[in-house]
Amino acid sequence: MMKKEVILSVNKLQASYGESTILWGTELAVAKGTVTTVMGRNGVGKTTLLKTIMGLVKVKEGEILLGDRNIANLPSHKIARAGIGYVPQGREILPKLSVHENLKLGLEASPDYKAKISEEEIYTLFPILKEFRKRLGGNLSGGQQQQLAIGRALISGPSLLLLDEPTEGIQPSIAIEIGNILRKLVEEKGISVLLVEQKIDFAKHVTDYFYFMDRGKMIKKGDAESFDFNELQDHIAV
Ligand SMILES: Nc1ncnc2c1ncn2[C@@H]1O[C@H](COP(=O)(O)OP(=O)(O)OP(=O)(O)O)[C@@H](O)[C@H]1O
Ligand SMILES: [Mg+2]
């Protein structure tokens, strides 16, 4: 990896659900101001990795450093307030709340409950959300819900954004838009992104640095230009 400051560093991480161990000494580093992408088949532990970083799954062993602070096993609201925004797989938009109210839920992650990126600024990034400000979350399309979930994570001004398969089940045109916004956040706001993704074309378009995960471990890593996907054919979902 380039000699860049590391914002997140995951060292020898182990996590399990009951007796079943999912993360087996996972290692990962996210350099500041990059999009770092984790790819891998269904069920290898990608979501578990993000949940463990967020404090939603217990760390059994290992450390998770945000800057130089070990956040392993902090309660998840403290991790959010330390500057990590989380866009979960499946988006988790509250269907009976309006777009505006869903966005406001993101303020929970702000230490003083104030917006660090204003609602107006989020509407500039995602104009459709402004138009649908009063519409119920449950009445949005998948792509619009995804934009709302990203907006909700941004409002507290995170320095690191975790996104879990943001293109799952959404139209290609909206996926491209979301990719462009991620690049913009990195380049204009200095936000760092840890992306979990299965769609290679989308991932190549936005990624600086790749990791490939299999059965709870990283089996390959490299920067976007030199990463060879061919040798991973057997591991890539089709
Ligand atoms: N709450 C849970 N309790 C028990 N096992 C779980 C739980 N959540 C996930 N698992 C199991 O842990 C393993 C890893 O799941 P995880 O969701 O992290 O995979 P993933 O790589 O995100 O998959 P996908 O690409 O389908 O989203 C799977 O075998 C899954 O069945
Ligand atoms: Mg997953």
166 conformational bin, left if phi > 0, alpha if psi -120 to 50, beta if neither: alpha
Q: Which two tokens stand for residue 96?
A: 């009976």
pLDDT at residue 238 in the model: 47
Mean pLDDT, residues 222-226: 90
* Ligand 1 centroid from CA 46, angstroms: 8
Burial class (CB in 10 A: 0-12, 13-18, 19+), 188: exposed
Q: CA 112, CA 41: separation in Å to the nearest integer?
A: 39
pLDDT band at 233 (very low <50, low <70, confident <90, very high): confident
Mean pLDDT, residues 36-54: 97
Helix (H) or strand (E) holding 66: strand 61-66
**Which atom of ligand 1 is nearest the CA belonging to 196?**
22
Q: Which two tokens stand for residue 216?
A: 């709870």
The per-residue pLDDT for range 4-43, each reduced to its tens digit, is 799 999 999 999 999 999 999 999 999 999 999 999 999 9
Q: Which two tokens stand for residue 7?
A: 């914002």
Contact 86, 153 (CB under 8 A): yes
Edge-to-edge, what's the strand order for the sheet holding 160-164? 84-87, 160-164, 192-196, 35-39, 209-214, 217-223
Ligand 1 neighbour 17 (Cβ under 6 A)? yes
DSSP one-letter code for 10: E
* Ligand 1 centroid from CA 123, angstroms: 33
Report if residue 46 sits inside a domain. yes
Report if residue 158 sits inside a domain. yes
The per-residue pLDDT for range 122-154, each reduced to its tens digit, is 999 999 999 999 999 999 999 999 999 999 999
Cα end-to-end distance, the chain, whole Å: 28
Q: CA 12, CA 74: separation in Å to the nearest integer?
A: 17
pLDDT at residue 32 in the model: 97
pLDDT at residue 236 in the model: 67
Q: Which two tokens stand for residue 138?
A: 């449950």
Question: Residue 201 sits in which domain range?
Answer: 6-233
pLDDT at residue 222 in the model: 94
Mean pLDDT, residues 144-173: 96
CATH number of domain containing 75: 3.40.50.300
pLDDT exceeds 90 at position 232: no
Helix (H, G, I), strand (E, B) or coil at 99: helix
Measured by CA distance, the residue closest to atom 30 of ligand 1 is: 43
Domain count, the chain: 1
Report if residue 18 sits inside a domain. yes
Q: CA 232, CA 238: separation in Å to the nearest integer?
A: 12
Helix (H) or strand (E) holding 12: strand 6-17
pLDDT at residue 20 in the model: 95
pLDDT exceeds 60 at position 2: no
Report if residue 102 sits inside a domain. yes
Report if residue 1 sits inside a domain. no
The per-residue pLDDT for range 78-127, each reduced to its tens digit, is 999 999 999 999 999 999 999 999 999 999 999 999 999 999 999 999 99
* Ligand 1 centroid from CA 72, angstroms: 20
Ligand 1 neighbour 155 (Cβ under 6 A)? no
What pTM was computed for the model?
A: 0.95
pLDDT exceeds 80 at position 231: no
* Ligand 2 centroid from CA 142, angstroms: 17
Nearest ligand (C-alpha, residue 40): 1
- The average confidence (pLDDT) of the chain is 94
Query: 117 Cβ partners below 8 Å, 6+ apart?
Result: 154, 155, 157, 189
**Which atom of ligand 1 is nearest the CA belonging to 18?**
4
Report if residue 17 sits inside a domain. yes
Report if residue 238 sits inside a domain. no
